[in-house]
């Protein structure tokens, strides 16, 4: 029968270290506000970049805490198997886990052969939502009036092709209106008080008005 005394001692020592790190380094952080952690009475006058740095460090601590808590669970599970007399036995195949593997990973639950080694294709997850601007073009959908991906591209591309003329700034070379739902919104306007009656509506003689008259 294999003697796992050294491995058990290793698990117990590691459990103490993990316990100490969780209780002394991270538990207090969870109950503290960001202002308390940074020593600032208010975040109002802080530069956004400084606040972002503080937030990043705080989130990193929480991620490390979560990792330690998972390791704590695995160690406790391994020690419980000592009490049940099942330590060193693969939980999937029932085979004996090689001693060398347990030396490297004392809390190992299975033999190496059944470890999930699936590897993805390595492509960034963000690529799953990429399909070109046509995929997010809602021009033909009467229920959508949002600023879509095609609009975003056109807004950027126009700086390389067209001069910024005031009355044309909301009209692309394709004739598509940007920032308006209805065509008449491009040439109708009211005063600062808003719409108070038909007599207060002003027609702006601009490119949108010309297009409207020409039926484009």
Strand partners, 203: 188
Q: What is the DSSP string of 43-84?
A: STTS-HHHHHHHHHHHHHHHHHHHHHHHHHHHHHHHHHHHHH
| pLDDT at residue number 113 | 87
| pLDDT at residue number 90 | 93
Within 10 Å of residue 87's Cβ, how many Cβ atoms?
A: 19
pTM: 0.48
| pLDDT at residue number 166 | 45
| pLDDT at residue number 185 | 76
| pLDDT at residue number 178 | 56
Q: What is the DSSP string of 108-149?
A: --S-GGGS---------GGGGG---GGGG--TT-TT--S--H
| pLDDT at residue number 139 | 66
Query: Under DSSP, is residue 97 helix (H, G, I), strand (E, B) or coil?
Result: coil
Question: In terms of CATH architecture, what is 5-113?
Answer: Up-down Bundle (1.20)
Q: Which of 75, 76, 102, 74 is nearest to 90 (CA)?
A: 102
Per-residue pLDDT of the chain (216 residues; tens, 9 = 90+): 688 999 999 999 999 999 988 887 766 666 566 565 666 666 666 667 777 787 788 888 888 888 999 999 999 999 999 999 999 999 989 999 999 999 999 999 999 888 766 555 667 767 766 666 566 666 667 676 667 666 777 777 766 654 544 444 454 555 555 556 677 777 788 878 888 888 888 877 777 777 778 775
DSSP-assigned letter for residue 88: T
The structural domains of the chain, with segments of one domain joined by +, span: 5-113, 133-213
Q: Which of 156, 161, 155, 160 is nearest to 178 (CA)?
A: 155
């Amino acid at each position: 029968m294999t003697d796992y005394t050294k491995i058990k001692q290793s698990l117990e020592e590691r459990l103490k270290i993990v316990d100490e790190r969780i209780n002394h380094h991270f538990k207090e952080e969870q109950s503290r506000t960001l202002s308390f952690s940074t020593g600032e009475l208010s975040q109002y006058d802080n530069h956004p970049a400084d606040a972002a740095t503080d937030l990043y460090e705080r989130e990193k601590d929480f991620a490390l805490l979560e990792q330690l808590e998972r390791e704590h669970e695995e160690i406790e599970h391994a020690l419980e198997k000592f009490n049940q007399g099942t330590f060193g036995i693969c939980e999937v195949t029932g085979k004996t886990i090689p001693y060398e593997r347990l030396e490297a990973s004392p809390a190992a639950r299975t033999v190496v052969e059944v470890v999930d080694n699936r590897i993805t294709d390595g492509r960034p997850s963000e690529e799953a939502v990429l399909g070109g601007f046509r995929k997010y073009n809602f021009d033909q959908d009467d229920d959508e009036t949002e600023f879509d991906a095609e609009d975003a591209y056109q807004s950027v591309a126009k700086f390389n092709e067209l001069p910024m003329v005031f009355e044309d700034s909301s009209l692309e070379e394709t004739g598509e209106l940007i920032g308006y739902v209805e065509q008449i919104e491009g040439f109708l306007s009211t005063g600062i008080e808003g719409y108070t009656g038909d007599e207060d509506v002003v027609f702006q003689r601009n490119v949108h008005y010309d297009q409207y008259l020409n039926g484009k």
